[in-house]
Structures are given as structure tokens and as C-alpha cells.
Structure 1
Amino acid sequence: MSGRVDPDAVAAQVLRELPAGGDHLDVLRAAAAALRGRLGYDVAVWATVDPVTTMWTSCLLDGMARDPALEAAVFDNEYRADDVLKLSDLAAAGRSGTAWNATRGDVTTSVRHRDLLGPAGFDDELRVVLTDGVTPWGALLLLRGGTPFDAGETRTVDAMARGLATALRGGLLRGGSPAAPTGTVGPAGLVLCGPDGSVTAMTDEAADLLGRSRGTATVEAPGVRGLPQVLASVLASRRAGGPSTASAPTDDGRWLLFTATSLAGTEAVAVEQLPAHRWADLLVRGHGLTPRERDVLLLVAAGRTNRQVASQLGISDFTVGDHLKAVFAKMGVGSRGELVASLFQDAFAPLHRSDVC
């Protein structure tokens, strides 16, 4: 379709149609509606990912109904098999890719296509991780039967990826900051799962954290959109020897930490309020700081002078000053004191109970 599609024009039109407010699902639904008909595909998978590990946490399907068995197989492939176009690899490369190009025109050499996507009627897949230039927030997977994706379609996806990531970040963090913790850190809960990540039982603590009626064992999760996906994702990753922990937001903007484990031979996921250090990291990522800017911020927050920061990071005093100016601008402060106060008030003060010194 490269001869009929202006990649930059299509990307710009899609980004113009994204909502200014709302949550991440509002952003994904608007993006799906805007891209539909402008780019040729049969199915689009709009996913959110954990910003630390790039692990899949939820998805919105456009073009097909959910198939839990296929989802479980795709997760198993993502974290266990040696295959092309892994989300972690795409995030590191900072670009999209198609199965056709990655396999030099023989998609049957991809386990995912030979065993999963091919039998489902798809002949090519276009994948891109949505990053804001620093942090991954989501992924877009386009599936099509027949003609492979061409260079123009790939350029279209690349052209809109960063803008989509920024909009998705705003939806996930409700405009730039994750919702403040509740103040009192309660006990963690435990969710027992079937092989496909479906919920078979949960503790009362897990039910409270997830906003679900106690005693329910259904896979639909009021209060946590995409819960089955994040469960299946951390379990599949753990089976493959990879990361077993991922964070995901609830409908009201709170973030929870999901950690795969086992209990008497049964797969399980521990659920807890996001710990302070992970919550603070999420807050910093929400402001779009680069890794070096985050390093400078953490050292400044620990009371280091510019010279000490420069010595520890192996950079000049002038470079530290430049990084600090960028941090001030992104965090909306004007001095080191305001920066530290803002970080504490936003990230750590809400975790303190009023009756504990």
C-alpha cells in the first residue's frame, strides 16, 4: 500500500484523533478507530506493557474476539521460545518489524507463525513497541492474511509510535502522575490461576486490592481491566525463567504489582500495592526523564552536590547542570529544593500513615 499511503499524513491524522483526557483504554479505542480503514490489516492488537520489563499487561482487540487459549500460547511464545520480533528486542532496537522481513520471506521459520498465527489465517505480522523515547508503555501488533506489509505501512506505524506512546502514558498515568497510594499499605493478596492465567480462587486480600466481590472466581475482573492478560504474562515469563513481576493500573488509576509464584504445585500470582521504589520510578518515567536524567535526579535527591554527582557519574559539572535544567523543566520546578520536595510529596509522603512517625 506504500503507493497509496502517505505515512506521515496517516500518522498525523491518527494522532490528531486521540483524546486529550481519559484513561489508557480511551486512548487505545480512539487509536484503533482512527487507524481502522487507513491501514490494511485484518486484526489489530493494542497492548499495554509494564514500563520496567516490557511485559504484556493488557490488550484491546480490533477485528477478532478474545481467544484465551491462543493468548496463553502467544504469551508462552513471547517468553519461552526463540523467535523473531520479541517485544523486548523491538524495544531495544527502537523500531518496528514485520515477520516477512525478519524471516526473509519464509514466515514458517517463525514458531509463532508456523504454530499459531498461520493456522489462524494470518500470513504476516507488523509489530512495534510504543515508547516515548525512553520508556515503553504499549505495543501495536497488526495481523494480515495475504499480502505482506510493505515499507510504506511500516513507516506509517513508526511515524505514529512515539505520539501514541506519549498519549498512552498520559492515559495510564492520568495526565503525567500515577494516582497516589492510599496511605496505608495493606497485606498482599494471592490469586490462584489455571494454566491459561484464568482465576480459579483468590484470597480476601486479593479481592480487596482488585476491587472484586469476595469469593468470585470468574475471569472478568471489575476494577482491573486486562487482569487475565497480566496474570498469564507473568506466569508465562516465570515458566521461561524470565522476570516474574509486572505492574499494571486499575480502573481508578492505582497501580498494583503482580508477582508470579507457586503454592503447593499450583500456579499463583501475589498482588500488592505498588512498593514505594517502584511507584517513585513510575512517577519519574511519567515525566519522560532520560536514564541519565533519572540518575542525576536520584543523586540530587540523596543530597549530592553538582560536583559529587559529576564525579560519581563520570561527567562534567556543566553536563550535570544541563541535566538538572532538563529535569526542572520536565518536573515543573525551579530549584533543587523544589525538586526534592516535589519528589517526596508526590512519591513518598502518601505512603506514610498519619498515626506512625
Structure 2
Amino acid sequence: MSKRIDNYDPMSDPDNPQTVKFEDIQAALSRIRPYVPVTPVIPSHQSKTFTMNIIYKMESVLPSGCHKERGAANALLKIPRDKKKAGLVIASLGNHAYSMSYHAARMNIPVTAMFPDFVPIQKLQKIHALGTKVLVRGTHIADTHKLARAMAKEKGLIFINGRDHPDILAGLGTIALEILEQVPNVDAVLVPVGTGGLVGSVGTVIKRLKPNCLVYGVQSELMPVFAKALEAGEPVTIPEVNTIADCLQVTRAGVNAFHNAKSVIDKLLLVKEDWLARAILALVEQERFVVEGAGACPLAAIIGHLVPELKTKTVVCIVTGGNIDCSFLARCMDRGLAAEGRLIKFRMRVVCEGRNLEHSLELKRALDRAYAGLTTFDTEPFNDKSMCPCYVAKI
């Protein structure tokens, strides 16, 4: 039985997965509204390019920069008053911790956040600035989760799994309630997928209120954790691989997430890394949005021509977040430019014949002046490593 497993999380029990009901999501929306505003929907400038009416649901404009505020606020508001003083411990790759920390600070609830060792220091600093105790523990998020649960048990703290707790999932589903109100003619919703929590909750609402609307999940092909779960019929663990969609870099689908998502998702799409890079680039250049890899997944599926059946349809792409490290953003944009053939890096090898030694030295000196440090000579006596001092240019 699951309860015999060391470090057991009763809110994420493989033997007894919890169903997030439509009514739970409705209640969550009423609960979080004073804390989480309605996020805007913005028509894309690229709709004509892709022959579909693309509309972005901009979760990235929230104070934390991501959709996870919805689940965080709902979960925090449901903590019993007598347990709030002790506080909680969480494990995160960044967005969940920032969302929890932001709203916990507003509610005066102490938070300890644990991170695996590859999370960018920029994210850690932002979360620490909110008054959260930041700990770096573990090399994988699964390890960090175990350590956080152990701390909760040892110190009598509350542990909230940001990817699978029922209250978190109910909060995430509020996005769909807003989408149906803002875009009543929506034909399809494209949802970034990690463990499956968001797509499961969004699908629960969509299939209840507009059954004919398609719900597509989008995941990096390098970390197809939900795809593997669908194949196996249950969550399975896969090796961790770095992906541009780093917020979706999880090794196992959530117990409750998978339970709720498997029956409401119409199709799961796997996108290539180059498509993700191109999507991030397009969102910056064409839409003026700064978006993290996970938030770019829906557009990546469109760029990769994975949804031809949606031509002429109204498609909502959920932009889940915009928390991307500046240096990482620059690398993604370079990769996107390269993938589109707009950025080219190359080296040339040129063989020249000189009239004599002096003529060849004159050429070398001219190149050294014009391209200082950028030219390399392979043949002696011009190779800098073996060149006779008597030949060195006197500039």
C-alpha cells in the first residue's frame, strides 16, 4: 500500500487519486478573486501567417509572472487558521515557490522553499526577497520533493505539492472559466503540459461548459513525461533531460493530475526544441512578449505544423509564464534565429600563394591589423606558436 512508502504524501496517493470537480474550480475562482485578477486575452499579430485566429491568454502578466498564483492563492486560503502560524515547506523549480511566497507574504504565512541545485540564482534571489527561507537541496526536483516532505514531517510544517495538490489543481482550473467568458467562440485551447495538472483542470471546465471545444496538451519531446504516462496508463518515471521548457522539466506525472487529465485531453502534442526557440523568438519579435519556454509551447506546436485541423479556427494559447533568465533568453533567441536560417556562424579556410616571404609577411601583418586576434595561420613560419621572432610584425 502507498501509505507504507517512506515519505508518503497523503494528498497525492496512487491508490486513491483525488478528482477535482467543476464545482471545486468554481469555488476556487470566488475564493481567489480578491488576490488574483482576471488576466487579459490578446489577439496575435501572426493570425494571418498561420491562418487561424490565435489569441493569447496572458498569465505572464501576474505579479509572480506565471499562472501558478491561482493554485497558490487557493491552497493558502484553504489552510486552517490554527495551522497557518507554523507555516509550510514547498519544493519548486521557481514559479510555484514565487507564487506561494508572494501570496503567503500577503497572508503572513511563513514559507520555506527548497530547490534543486540547477535553478538560476536570479530566481532564488527574487523569492528570498519576498521573505521566504530559501534552501538548495538535491540534484533533481524529485529528490527535492522528498527532502521537503521529510522536513515537513520533522518540523510539523504543511507540505503542499505545487504540481499535484487538489487545492492547487482547482485553482489552476480558474483559467478556463475566464477563457470561456472572454473568448466564448473558442474552438480549441492549447495548454503547456508538465505533470498534467493544468491541462487536467482546464479540460475539466472546458468539457463541462463547452464539450465541443478541443483541449490539446503540449509538451517538449525531450521530457515527454505525460505522453509516457498515457502510453502506460499510469504515471511512470523517465530520465531527466534539459529542455528549453525548463519549468516542465519533471520526471513523473502527478497522481491527481493524471487522474483528472487523462479523460479530458483530446490530443497531446510533442514539440521539438528548435520550435520552442522559434516560438520564444516570435513572441518577442512579433508580439513583444517575454515568455519562458513552457509558455511558448502552444505557439511551438503551431510553428511545427502539428495542428493543421485548427486552420481558420479560434485558438487560445495559454501563455503560462514569463520568468526566463536574461542570459537564457538570449541563447534561446540565438537558437531560434539559427533554426530559421537567419543567424549563421562559420569559419573560412583560405589558401594563398605569395610572391615571396616578404610578400606573405605583408599579407599576414595586414590581416593581423584588420582582424586582431581573429586570424589563425597553419603553415610555418607564419604559425604564431612556432614563428621566428624576426618575422613578428613591427606595428
How would you bin the TM-score normalised by the shorter chain?
under 0.3
Flag the structure with larger Rg. Answer: 2
Return the TM-score normalized by structure 2: 0.24
Return the TM-score normalized by structure 1: 0.26
- Structure that is richer in strand per residue: 1
